[in-house]
Amino acid sequence: MLAAARTAFAERGYDGASIRAIATAAGVDPALVHHYFGTKDRLFLAAVQAPADPDEFLPEVLAVPPDQRGAAVVGMVLRVWDGPTRPAVLALVRSAVNHEWSARLLREFVLSRIVRRVVGSVDVPVEEREARGALVASQVVGLVMARYVFRMEPLASAPPPWVVAAIGPTVQRYLTGDVELPHPR
Amino acid sequence: MLAAARTAFAERGYDGASIRAIATAAGVDPALVHHYFGTKDRLFLAAVQAPADPDEFLPEVLAVPPDQRGAAVVGMVLRVWDGPTRPAVLALVRSAVNHEWSARLLREFVLSRIVRRVVGSVDVPVEEREARGALVASQVVGLVMARYVFRMEPLASAPPPWVVAAIGPTVQRYLTGDVELPHPR
């Protein structure tokens, strides 16, 4: 079931993959998938082997005022990575860099389960959301790589409040600020 | 010689590694290292398996006015990655994510051969340079990961001028702008 789910989510994305189609591909009844995983969201978390559930850390971010949401995003990233789940998240990033299917799965997870919910929570035109989300992701992924993978000083050992003060404004600008955006494809 | 050079650069950094020590570790005469590689810089490029020589693309970046250098950095990154060397650069990133020694070598290469020269070219206090450099690297690495590794749209297919317009201001702020910086360690 998990193998079928990974293929489906990687090929068709979160929204395009259905529990019914995943069950068919795995040769089981959809009821069995529901029995084991409950919702599509939980099946997706299991397929990605997500070490943290966005439903646990996102509500806090979405609760801060829109003009402070950039800082809240950076703070959240640091809490997830500075916590006990770091080895598991790092393994996820390694796998994504090594395998095309894994990269697609992680991209879909980060974009549809985290970034889109953050961007969807601020007051910007719908047609700008995808571009703003990709820009937010570019800075967040870069922060993670520089601090935890490449361990570039002083970013690697800097206390979270400094990182939030330095990088929060970038994420805020990408979320709600003045950014030249491409035409919709 | 290359194996000894990789170990030396990864452990002691570019400045700390000497051709003499590398030659000793490899059991050869320093003159032989000079004969094969010329300068320490070229030996380092060979050790990292750098697909592009910073001396070829950096002068152009350093020639633009300081207040446009953020845009120039982003433009340079896109030219290197959108060119024929992309597979080789991608292989370098993959290796760095998989191997600790490779991550150290790539970090040292990016910081000492590229980032420090860019940051050293703008008028900011010396004690701010390391932090500004790490911040620049965080956005540049993130752009590379989002556009070329994770292929997040619309960033993955966006024309270079749009990427420069969207991300250039971030790099510019990290280089010369108002950023809260940590105390020197």
User: Which residues constitute the domain of residue A19?
Assistant: 2-48
Give the whole-angstrom CA distance, residue A62 versus residue A59. Answer: 5
Residue in A93, A142, A162 nearest the CB of B182: A162
Amino acid A13: pLDDT: 82
Q: How far is CA B170 from the centre of its chain?
A: 18
Within-domain flag for B185? no
**Best residue in A81, A135, A148 for a mutation probing chain B (most B CBs within 10 Å):** A135
Supply the CATH number for residue A110's domain: 1.10.357.10
Q: What's the number of domains chain A is made of?
A: 2
Question: By the 8 A CB rule, do A157 and B185 touch?
Answer: yes
Do B60 and B135 lie in one domain? The reply is: yes
Amino acid A58: pLDDT: 94
Q: Give whole-number Cα distances, A43 to A18, A34, A57, A99, A172, in Å.
A: 11, 9, 18, 21, 31
B residues 82-101 near A, CB within 8 Å? Answer: 93-94, 96-98
Do A73 and A89 lie in one domain? The reply is: yes
Amino acid B52: pLDDT: 81
Within-domain flag for B182? no
Do A117 and A159 lie in one domain? The reply is: yes
Three-class SS state of A156: coil
Degrees to nearest 5, angle at CA A103 with A97 and A106 = 120
Amino acid A9: pLDDT: 84
Do A59 and A105 lie in one domain? The reply is: yes
Amino acid B185: pLDDT: 47
Tens of each residue's pLDDT in chain A, 185 residues = 888 988 888 888 888 888 999 999 999 999 999 999 888 888 888 888 887 888 889 999 999 999 999 999 999 999 989 888 888 888 888 888 888 888 888 888 889 889 999 999 999 999 999 999 999 999 999 999 999 999 999 999 999 999 999 999 999 999 999 998 766 54
Do B114 and B129 lie in one domain? The reply is: yes
Within-domain flag for A111? yes
Q: Minimal Cα–Cα distance from B111 to chain A, Å?
A: 8
Do B102 and B144 lie in one domain? The reply is: yes
- ipTM rounded to 2 decimals: 0.88
Q: pLDDT digit string (tens) for A138-177?
A: 999 999 999 999 999 999 999 999 999 999 999 999 999 9
Supply the CATH number for residue A17's domain: 1.10.10.60
A-B contacts (CB, under 8 Å): 148
Within-domain flag for B87? yes
* A157 in B contact zone (CB under 8 Å): yes
Residues of chain B falling short of pLDDT 50: 185
Amino acid A185: pLDDT: 47
Do A111 and A44 lie in one domain? The reply is: no
Q: Minimal Cα–Cα distance from B141 to chain A, Å?
A: 5
Do B42 and B96 lie in one domain? The reply is: no
Amino acid B183: pLDDT: 60
Do A62 and A139 lie in one domain? The reply is: yes
In the numeric block, which tokens belong to residue B28? Answer: 């050869």
Q: Minimal Cα–Cα distance from B35 to chain A, Å?
A: 32
Do A44 and A58 lie in one domain? The reply is: no
Do B81 and B132 lie in one domain? The reply is: yes
Within-domain flag for A183? no
Give the whole-angstrom CA distance, residue A105 versus residue A111. Answer: 10
